Amino acid sequence: MKGGEKIRDELRIVLVTILSTGVLIMLGFIYFALTLFVIKIASDAIFAISVDTNWAVLAAALITLGSMLGGALEKKRISA
């Protein structure tokens, strides 16, 4: 492999890494928003009370964090 090809390959890897990071961050935001929506709707429909926005955001953040960490840890454990 020549020097120019190696540099192009490395730049392609960096570009793919940046793009995939951006996509994963956007998917995280979408998942958080959907979780927040489900929590707000469920609190109104099931419990017939309106949850304070701060508590709903905290619950959605914890659920999102737990599912993302669980998915990442499970993937590492399976591949090891």
Query: What does the angle CA 23 – CA 25 – CA 31 come to, to the nearest 5 degrees?
Result: 100
Instruction: Round to whole Å and give the CA distance between 31 and 53.
Output: 17
Q: Return all residues near 67 (Cβ < 8 A) that are at least 6 apart.
A: 31
What pLDDT, on the 0 to 100 scale, is given for residue 38?
A: 93
Question: What are the structural domain ranges in the chain?
Answer: 3-79
What pLDDT, on the 0 to 100 scale, is given for residue 62?
A: 94
Q: What confidence category does residue 74 fall into, taking pLDDT thresholds of 50, 70 and 90?
A: confident
Instruction: Round to whole Å and give the CA distance between 58 and 54.
Output: 6
What pLDDT, on the 0 to 100 scale, is given for residue 76?
A: 61
Residue pLDDT, tens place only, 13-63: 999 999 999 998 999 899 999 999 999 999 889 888 888 889 999 999 999
